[in-house]
Amino acid sequence: MPAEGVRLKPAFDAGRLLRELTSVREHTWDQQRVYTEEGVGAATEVDWRCLALRSPGGDGDRTDPGGPGPRDFADTVWLDRIPYVREVLDFIPAPLHAVRFMALGPDTVGIDHTDPKYGPRWGVGRLHVPVVTNPGAVLVLDGVEHRWQPGEFWFGDFSRTHRVQNTGTEPRVHLVIDVLVTPGLAALFPEAWQEYFRDGEVLFNRQECPQTTDERRRLATRFPVPETFHLWEGDTPLSADVPRETATLADDGERMTLRLPGDRAFALVHLGDNEYRFAGWSEERTLQVFPDGPDPRVVLRTREGGRVDELTVTAERLPA
C-alpha cells in the first residue's frame, strides 16, 4: 500500500491562481454539502464553503461532490471567468468530475471522516492545488500532517481517515479536483508510485465510447437488479440474498438512462461493447447488455482493484 498522499508534477503558477480566485470572491460562497445515495445532503456545520467550477449538470449552486444521478458533470459559468484554472484542468489527462474552490474558514476544525471509495482501488482520485494557506492550515490524512503550499499539485487517498483544520486567522483555499483514474493520470505520479500502478490494486477507467441513437434504441430492456446495485457507497455482493427490483434501460434522446422504481434515474456512460458505468461515478460498477438471441441478458459487475464480481440476469427486450 503506497503512502496516503504524494506530490504530483508539475507545479502551477500560484500568482495567477490567486488573481483568478480573487476575481470570483466578490460574494459569499455557500456551505459545502455532502452527496449520498439519497442525493444532495446537509450542509457542513463548520465554516467550509465552496464555489463549483464543475458540477452535475453544470449547476453553479451545487457545493457537493456529486455522484451517480440523472445528470453528468459539466462546467459551470464560473469556470468561464478563470482561464488559467481551465488551463490547469485541461492539463489533467483524465475525465473530470466535481471541481471546486474550497475555502476552510479561520479557527475551524473539521471532524475525522472518510470519503467512501474515493481512492484508486475504486477508480476515483481527488487532487488538490492549494491557492491560499497559512501555517495553521493542516490536513491530517491517515494520521500524517500535511501542509501543502500554493501552486503545488497533490494527490491524497481520501478513502482513508482524514481531517482538515485551520487555526490561522485567514481562510485556507484549495482547488479540489475529482477525477477518474486512468493510465494517463498515473503518469503524473513520481517513479516510486509506478510499480503500484502496474501491480497494485488499482481500477483504471476506460474512455467514453459514443453511440448513435439507433445503437442505443436497440438496447432498450427491462430486467431485475438487486435493490442495492445502485448504492455505490456500499459493498453488498451481487450474489447476496437481497430483494430485487425492476430496472428499465432506455434512450433518453442523448444517452442511455437506467430507471428504477420511485422515479429514480441514472444517466449512463458507454464504455464499449454495450457496457455502461453510472455517469458521475467510475467503473466500480457497470452493466453490460447482450440483447441478441433467444435469451437477452444483462451482466451486472462491481469492481475493486483487479477483482470483479458478476451477476447475470435475464432481460426483456422493449420496443425500440
> Which of 95, 66, 60 has its CA nearest to residue 204?
95
Look at residue 178 and give its three-state secondary structure: strand
Distance CA(81)–CA(84), nearest Å, equals 9
State the Cα–Cα distance between residues 166 and 186, nearest whole angstrom: 30
**Residue 1 banded pLDDT, cuts 50, 70, 90:** low
Residue 129 has pLDDT above 80, yes or no: yes
Q: How confident is the model at residue 39 (pLDDT cuts 50, 70, 90)?
A: confident
Place 117 in a pLDDT band, splitting at 50, 70 and 90.
Answer: very high
Q: Phi first, then psi: what are they for 12, rounded to 5°?
A: -115, 165
**221: β partners:** 249, 317
pTM of the model: 0.96
pLDDT in tens, 253-300: 999 999 999 999 999 999 999 999 999 999 999 999 999 988 999 999
pLDDT at 56 over 90: yes
N-term to C-term CA, the chain? 48
* pLDDT tier for residue 15 given thresholds of 50, 70 and 90: very high
Distance separating alpha carbons of residues 79 and 56, to the nearest angstrom? 14
Q: Which of 120, 95, 94, 119 is nearest to 185 (CA)?
A: 94
- Tens-digit pLDDT profile for residues 157-177: 999 999 999 999 999 999 999
Question: Cα torsion for 244, 271, 9, 200, to the nearest 10°?
Answer: 60
Segment 70-98, tens digit of pLDDT: 999 999 999 999 999 999 999 999 999 99
Q: Whole-angstrom Cα distance, residue 229 to residue 285? A: 8
Label residue 245 by pLDDT band (50, 70, 90): very high
pLDDT digits (tens, 9 = 90+) for 195-223: 999 988 999 999 999 999 999 999 999 99
What sign results for the dihedral spanned by CA atoms 7, 13, 15, 16? negative
Omega before 10 cis (within 30°)? yes
- Residue 94's contacts (CB-CB under 8 Å, 6 or more residues apart) are 125, 179, 180, 181, 182, 184, 185, 205
How far is it, in rounded angstroms, from Cα 5 to Cα 54?
A: 23
Torsion, CA 71, CA 207, CA 183, CA 1, rounded to 10? 50
State yes or no: pLDDT of 14 exceeds 80: yes
Residue 320 has pLDDT above 80, yes or no: no
Angle at 97 between CA 36 and CA 258, to 5 degrees: 60
- Give 175 or 42, the one with higher predicted confidence: 175
Confidence of residue 17 (pLDDT cuts 50, 70, 90): very high
Q: What percent of the chain is predicted at pLDDT more than 70?
A: 100
Work out the mean pLDDT of the chain and round it to a whole number.
96
